[in-house]
Amino acid sequence: MGEQHKKHNRREHLNDFHLNVAGEYVYDGALYACQNDDAKQRRSKRAVWGMAAILTVAVAAGGCIPAPGMQNCFYVLLPYLGEFLGAASVIWALAKLGTDWSTVREYNYKKSVAVLPVRTAVTAVFSLLGIVCELIFFFVNDHAGQTFFALLYVLLKLIALLSVLVLRAEIMQAEWDKLPKILLCTMCILSCYNQKNSTRCFSAHRCP
């Protein structure tokens, strides 16, 4: 029963696609739009994707260096695993959001903007835990010969932590609104008029 419910939720957005008279599947579900002005949107997008790139590099690099405890200590490995999965989920959500914030389909909005605050917060918690656990392992055990890699690991965790917090702040500052149906119909009519292809356009979006 639970598995069927999950499958239904995953496929629910397919109900928003319908065939038009040209035999093409078109989306006529709800749309969301970022209400920030163009300049602020451009700045936010640069910050979000820039921080996402830094987060990716920092997390990946942290798993590639021989930091103390990363080979055989569960309480050092577990925070890294959580951070890695959290960062991957953040990047996946950003991929769903894309770079065009003027019209975001509802199913993509729910998988990106709606979940990013929680996913970035979880990733930040694991990054912080990674710093604490690495320092505990380093000082409790005698790893004086690996000081450089321990400090480098902590630095990478700190970079990951700061980048995901900045990313979260940018996402939280963006103002989103659901576009009303009447506006969508107006956009459709204007597009039809400009393209001189009214039959195909009106069938692409079903006005109430």
The 10s digit of each residue's pLDDT in 76-129 is 999 999 999 999 999 999 999 988 888 888 888 999 999 999 999 999 999 999
Q: Which one has a higher pLDDT value, 82 or 206?
A: 82
The residues spanned by each domain of the chain are 33-177, 178-208
Whether 65 and 150 have beta carbons less than 8 Å apart is answered as no
Grade residue 178 by pLDDT with cuts at 50, 70 and 90.
Answer: confident
Which residues neighbour 111 within 8 Å (Cβ) at sequence distance 6 or greater? 93, 96
End-to-end Cα, the chain, rounded Å: 34
SS (H, E, C) the chain: CHHHHHHHHHHHHHHHEEECCCCCEEECCCEEEECCCHHHHHHHHHHHHHHHHHHHHHHHHHCCCCCCCCCCCHHHHHHHHHHHHHHHHHHHHHHHHCCCCCCEEHHHHHCCCCCHHHHHHHHHHHHHHHHHHHHHHHHHCCCHHHHHHHHHHHHHHHHHHHHHHHHHHHHHHCCEEECCHHHHHHHHHHHHHHHCCHHHHHHHCCCC
Whether 30 and 106 have beta carbons less than 8 Å apart is answered as yes
Would you state the structure tokens that stand for residue 6, as one six-digit string?
């999950």
Grade residue 4 by pLDDT with cuts at 50, 70 and 90.
Answer: very low
Grade residue 193 by pLDDT with cuts at 50, 70 and 90.
Answer: very low
What average pLDDT score do residues 24-47 get? Answer: 86
Q: Which one has a higher pLDDT value, 163 or 31?
A: 163
**Each residue of 139-177: pLDDT tens digit?**
888 766 788 999 999 999 999 999 999 999 999 999 988
> Is the model's pLDDT at 6 over the cut of 60?
no
**Domain 33-177 class in CATH:** mainly alpha
Q: What percent of the chain has pLDDT over 90?
A: 54
Q: Which one has a higher pLDDT value, 7 or 149?
A: 149
